[in-house]
Amino acid sequence: MLFLNDCLVLYSTLFKMPRIKEYNESDVLEKAMNLFWRNGFETTSMHMLEKEMGINKFSIYSSFGSKQGLLLASIKCYQEQLNSLLIEIEKGKNGKQAIKNYFYKFLSFSQRGNNKNGCLITNTKNELRDKAAPEIKNALVNFTLGVKDIFANALSKDSSRTVETINQQSDYLLIAMFGLSSASRVFDRDQLENYIEQIFNSI
Amino acid sequence: MLFLNDCLVLYSTLFKMPRIKEYNESDVLEKAMNLFWRNGFETTSMHMLEKEMGINKFSIYSSFGSKQGLLLASIKCYQEQLNSLLIEIEKGKNGKQAIKNYFYKFLSFSQRGNNKNGCLITNTKNELRDKAAPEIKNALVNFTLGVKDIFANALSKDSSRTVETINQQSDYLLIAMFGLSSASRVFDRDQLENYIEQIFNSI
DNA sequence: TCTATAACTAACCGATTAGTTAGTTATAAA
DNA sequence: TTTATAACTAACTAATCGGTTAGTTATAGA
């Protein structure tokens, strides 16, 4: 992602160099992401973001445009973190087992630090629905479609599944993952692990 | 539930009868419940509630005490409606099939009128978590425990399940129902029906 | 040192929030 | 008709919301 800072570096080679930003945009973005992840969009106020990010409103708005702009940047930051778990699926030789491993890793990811934050993407889908800006909706939908594709590709590595079965099972796993994301905010770890085991009994 | 209206009737036999309420409390409660169900707690403002319920703030506060008090009453109203679906499970002879039928009926219930409202209980759990008043938390937890019991009792009707298996499978179905509630707000009907079929393949 | 510029501070904006309250109206027993 | 009382109206409160802006500060080339 190209941040204003990068533009400034380019700019400074051509014109006079004005005052330098005192914060790192990817550092403060990570903090904003964690706040949205923990509290949701509406509950997270600009005041909370100022305190957590350590910068004031002017800086937030000059770097990210709006509160929803900051959420969109947070979602993309979050998606990059999830992607590093998702590519493990593609490496696995046994598709079903690779997806199952991903479910377990995701569970740890969603409950790290004893916080029951769930999944930022699922949380945002659940919370905003129609109220999200089109860019945010697109980011959420596209990521979800990507995950389904990864599931489908993994399943197609295993022997003897029809195209129809692969489509049904990847759809099923997608909703099961959505359910796990929501449930991970409420249920205990052992209940959730039992849930994962049962999910993979049926495919 | 004993409403102020009922107290008033009792009161009127002993003292002078003052002005009569111009609205029916269970009627306006149903409308409030639908609003909370559709929009969630925070998004539903007192102004929206005034318009939807057809009464003003004073009346809402005199009948239900607070916004969270109105939510609590709405949740109890909602639970009564779900109970009429849940008792069908207890009537069924084949436990697994009875629970599966409940999943399908719940899906129609959660998407009636082409609205993707999900489940008021799941939505509230997802949205409020720690911010809910203790009374609301208790109502949610107790209802959830009740549903698990109903699942367990139904499964124990079928032959040859150990106590351990019944506990695991009813826990699994509880989380699957939670997942279905969340997913029903986002996914399509045929995807969700496929999800239900796959769930019951594994038990 | 001067100057153009962007980073930064802090006060401010109108709108909206949940909740309150003073004053008015309708009721029915007395 | 009088009167006690609760239902009702509507204006109000203090706090908070996302977002803006006028004024100050730091930078580095000229």
Q: Could you give the angle at which helices A57-64 and A67-91 cross, rounded to 10 degrees?
A: 60
Of B126, B131, B187, the CB nearest to A185: B126
Per-window interface: A 172-191 vs B, CB < 8 A: 172, 175-176, 178-180, 182-183, 185-187, 191
Please give the residue range of the domain that contains residue B45.
21-201
CA distances for B173 relative to A2, A27, A203, B48, B129, angstroms: 46, 41, 16, 36, 21
- CA-to-C1' distance for A49 and C15, Å? 21
The answer to whether the beta carbons of residues B44 and B35 sit under 8 Å apart is: yes
The answer to whether the beta carbons of residues A46 and A129 sit under 8 Å apart is: no
pTM over 0.85: yes
Of A126, A175, A179, the CB nearest to B178: A179
With CA atoms as reference, report the closest residue to A107 among A116, A96, A120, A95: A116
Minimum-distance nucleotide, CA of B4 to C1': D6
With CA atoms as reference, report the closest residue to A119 among A70, A68, A178: A178
The type of residue at B67 is K
Q: Give the count of alpha carbons within 13 A of A162, CB side only.
A: 3
The type of residue at A164 is E
Distance from CA of B182 to the nearest CA of A (A): 7
- What pLDDT is stored for residue A16 in this prediction? 62
In a domain, B5, yes or no: no
- What pLDDT is stored for residue B4 in this prediction? 39
- What pLDDT is stored for residue B184 in this prediction? 96
Interatomic CA distance for residues B52 and B72, integer angstroms: 18
Please list the rounded mean pLDDT of every run of 10 residues in chain A (203 residues). 42 60 94 97 97 96 97 98 97 96 97 90 93 96 98 93 96 97 95 97 89
Distance from CA of B200 to the nearest CA of A (A): 8
* Dihedral sign of CA atoms A49, A53, A59, A64 in order: negative
Chain C bases near protein Cβ (<7 Å): 3-11, 16-22, 25-30
Minimum-distance nucleotide, CA of B16 to C1': C29
CATH of the domain at A68: 1.10.357.10
Please list the rounded mean pLDDT of every run of 10 residues in chain B (203 residues). 42 60 94 97 97 96 97 98 97 96 97 90 93 96 98 93 96 97 95 97 90
Coil, helix or strand for A105? helix
The one-character DSSP state at B113 is G
Which residues of chain A neighbour B198 with C-beta distances below 8 Å? 168-169, 172, 202-203
pLDDT, tens digit (0-9, with 9 covering 90-100), for B191-201: 999 999 999 99
- CA-to-C1' distance for A62 and D19, Å? 12
Interatomic CA distance for residues B168 and B171, integer angstroms: 5
Per-window interface: A 18-47 vs B, CB < 8 A: 40, 42-43
User: Any CB–CB contact under 8 A between B4 and chain A?
Assistant: no
Number of structural domains found in chain B: 1
Query: Is B178 within 8 Å of A175 when comparing Cβ atoms?
Result: no
Of B122, B178, B183, the CB nearest to A175: B183
